[in-house]
Amino acid sequence: MSTLWDTIKKGIKDGAKIAKDGAHIAAEKAEILSKKSKVMIEISNIKRKIEKNFTELGGKVYHLIQEEKVENVAEKDEIKKLLDTISAFEGEMKKKEKELEQIGIAYQPEEVEKSEEIAAQDEPKDDI
């Protein structure tokens, strides 16, 4: 039979373990959210660059067709350069989207749930 002091010590130990496990889980989740947020911001910045280049492309195409009466607009170097730039940004964006996907794969919610279940099993029981 355990004494009151043994029960209190066990409760303190169990509480410390639960707090430690909870802090570890919270830190993991915060790190994953931080990584995801960073990549999402990078994707957003790339999208803005693509938009800017599309706008510039549209303005140049309009100018070449309306004012200079150019028929083969796609043959102009300035247009080719903008198309290449947009294509490069699209490639960057796809890489970032894959990176975001990999972060999601690396984060296994099942593992966190399992550790939460283990922590819950170790909680002291009220036998009062």
Give the least confident one: 18-27, 62-71, 95-104. Answer: 18-27
Domain span at 20: 10-121
69 Ramachandran zone, left/alpha/beta (phi>0; psi -120 to 50): left
**pTM given for the model:** 0.66
Number of domains in the chain: 1
* 113: in domain: yes
pLDDT digits (tens, 9 = 90+) for 31-48: 888 999 999 999 999 999
* 91: in domain: yes
* 1: in domain: no
pLDDT digits (tens, 9 = 90+) for 49-92: 999 999 999 999 999 999 999 989 999 999 999 999 999 999 99
* 126: in domain: no
* 89: in domain: yes
* 97: in domain: yes
Distance CA 78, CA 66 (A): 16
* 42: in domain: yes
* 127: in domain: no
